[in-house]
Amino acid sequence: MKYLIATLLIFTKVFLFAQTHADTIYLTENLYVTKSIDSSEYYKVIKKENGLYFVSEYFTQSDSIKMSGSFKDYERTIREGEFVFYEKGMISSRANYKGGILNGLSSNYYDSGELFYTSNYINDISQDLLAYYKDGTLKRKEIHSEGIKECYKPNGEKADFYEFMVPATYPNGGSTGMKKYIAENLRYPDEAVEKNIQGKVTINFLVSKTGEITTVKVKKSVHHLLDKEAIRVIKSMPKWNPGMLDGEAVDSYFTIPLNFNF
């Protein structure tokens, strides 16, 4: 599936099952930990092997796999080794990490399973990019060290070059404009002020192919009063300029912190 991702790390408290060789965590649709299988949308299985924590994530209802990968730490903040992501039971992408940053080959696939594009990374920086049509014909070649940036038609002839990835952007001033909007529109709940509730709420949201703000969820909660206001202000943002991938509008995922303090 084509999409852009800003941030994918998930921080949760752990629900442990005793007398097993693996820990299992059940998560709701909003990524809250739950002890109830029936109320969960996903579950993760964590196993420690050779000093690494191997994680497999599944959809509860179907038991179909969503993701697999390994981390250096139990809190799952530092990725190490290969990560594989799935859509509808098929591999959608794979990438390699060292010390929490991209190193090595990264591959993405069409919904129908064909190879879409590959990129080699060194210390989180892409060194090259090769993209393909579904029949395997080369569509794009970028080799940064040699200054090569070429696009091709299905018949192999050169085509006009265009940027492969264009991030979604806030329409009025980009990132700076977004921060200004949030600062001007965030309302500290009176009850939270009275109870001296402060902290940083982290929000996940999606900018759709048409620029709408959707799927707004709390990733890291402080208090339901602050969570509710953080969700409100994010949902109230104007329509964004959608992200583009290979010339097509795509969904883009973002994670941002909102600070509540006096």
The pLDDT score that the predictor gives to residue 7 is: 36
Q: Which fold has domain 174-260?
A: 3.30.1150
Q: Which two tokens stand for residue 115?
A: 């190879």
Instruction: Indicate the pLDDT class of residue 5, thresholds 50, 70 and 90.
Output: very low
Instruction: Indicate the pLDDT class of residue 13, thresholds 50, 70 and 90.
Output: very low
Question: Whole-angstrom Cα distance, residue 91 to residue 66?
Answer: 9
3-162 CATH: 3.90.930
Determine the residue type at 139: K
Better-predicted residue by pLDDT, 164 or 13: 164
Dump pLDDT digits (tens) for 202-212. Answer: 999 999 999 99
The domain limits of the chain are 3-162, 174-260
| Strands 115-122 and 104-109, bridge-based pairing | antiparallel
The pLDDT score that the predictor gives to residue 55 is: 96
Q: Which two tokens stand for residue 123?
A: 């210390």
The pLDDT score that the predictor gives to residue 19 is: 37
Helix residue ranges, H only, the chain: 174-185, 190-194, 224-235
